[in-house]
Structures are given as structure tokens and as C-alpha cells.
Amino acid sequence: MSFYIKNITRCSLCGELIGSFKESLLLPYIADPDSPLAFFVRNYVHRNCFNSWEDHDDFIQSSFEQEERMIQRGNYEKVILYDRYFIIDYKKQEDTYHIRDCYSILEIRISIGQVGELGDFFEKIKTGAHAQLEVGKLIFTAKGKEVVIVHHDEDEIGDEITIPHSRINDYIFVFNYIRRYNEKNDLL
């Protein structure tokens, strides 16, 4: 099922109804179509069910490999990093960086200015600071040692995604990587 419908769409992992869109996650394609995990592709699940799923890591690995194939096929414009479940694609026309996180299954599209703001924000919350940052339609909030990202669109709350504490350093790495990349390209 490729559309989320309130009170109809069920989680393919637990079988229960998914009460709201923000709890839902549409699972991406994976590299191996013969894998038993392929059954779950393009299915909706609870984000919480996905995070605690025993096949979580295998599914992510396979979806990351699928993205690698997409890169080889030229489905991305200019991949500047492909590592740690991240793919960073630079879009020249819009002068933005698309950060795809295959681990948390989310994509963030930001300018270089916003990359700087987010890099500083993630550094700050690592020290335990309570902080919030609004970047376009995304609100980043430090909660405990995690970061909650809420996508808001004209008062409507869309996705709500939690970046686990274990991924904070990877995010900082990514923001620093983009900053360095951008500086180098300014020199050319």
C-alpha cells in the first residue's frame, strides 16, 4: 500500500492501525528483490516498530546498497559523500545539499548557510544543552540526548523523526564534511 490512510493503514510489522501520519514510515526499496525482507518494501510501518525490528539493520544495509546502485545508474546529480548510511547529493541549480539518511530514512534539503547552523546546533546539543532550531520547514529539538525532527507545513504536522544519540557524531561529521567541501569549491 503506497498511501497512508488514517484508520485504514496498518503497520506491516505489528498489524495494528497506524494512528497518525507522523507515526508512519513508508519503507524504501532494497537491493535484493529475493530477500524475505522485500515483502516489506513500499509498506507502511510504525516508526517505533521499525526501530525495534530485529531485521532493522539488515533492511537498512540493503536499502543503502540499493541507493548505491541508484548512484551508479546516475539517479543522483553530484554525490559528494556516500558513507555511514548517508548520501549527500549537491544540486547545483538550487545550490542546496540533499542529505539522505538511510538509517533513519529521511531526507534533509539545505543550503550551505543552514548546514553551518545545523552543525553548530548538533555540536551544542552534544554537550547536553536544551536547544531548538528551525530550518525551513524543519524544527530540530534536543530531547534528552536525542534530536527530534518535526516537519511542519502550514500548521500541519507531518513527519516526526528521532535521531538516536548514537548518530549525533555521524551528523556532525556530515555537516563538517559539507562545510569543507563548500570551502574548497569556493577556492576553485
Binding-site ranges for Zn ion (CB under 5 A): 11, 13-14, 46, 49
Q: How far apart, in whole angstroms, are the C-alpha atoms of residue 45 and residue 169? A: 27
CB of 17 to Zn ion, least distance (A): 9
CB of 44 to Zn ion, least distance (A): 9
CB of 148 to Zn ion, least distance (A): 19
CB of 46 to Zn ion, least distance (A): 3
- Whats the size of the chain, residue-wise? 188
Measured from the CB atom, the residue of 28 and 119 that comes closer to Zn ion is 28
Q: How far apart, in whole angstroms, are the C-alpha atoms of residue 182 and residue 174? A: 12
Measured from the CB atom, the residue of 25 and 88 that comes closer to Zn ion is 25
Here the cell at position 14 is 505489528
Measured from the CB atom, the residue of 14 and 106 that comes closer to Zn ion is 14
Q: How far apart, in whole angstroms, are the C-alpha atoms of residue 149 and residue 140? A: 5
For residue 54, the one-letter residue type is E
Measured from the CB atom, the residue of 13 and 133 that comes closer to Zn ion is 13
Q: How far apart, in whole angstroms, are the C-alpha atoms of residue 124 and residue 20? A: 31
Q: How far apart, in whole angstroms, are the C-alpha atoms of residue 69 and residue 65? A: 6
Shortest-Cβ-distance residue relative to Zn ion: 11
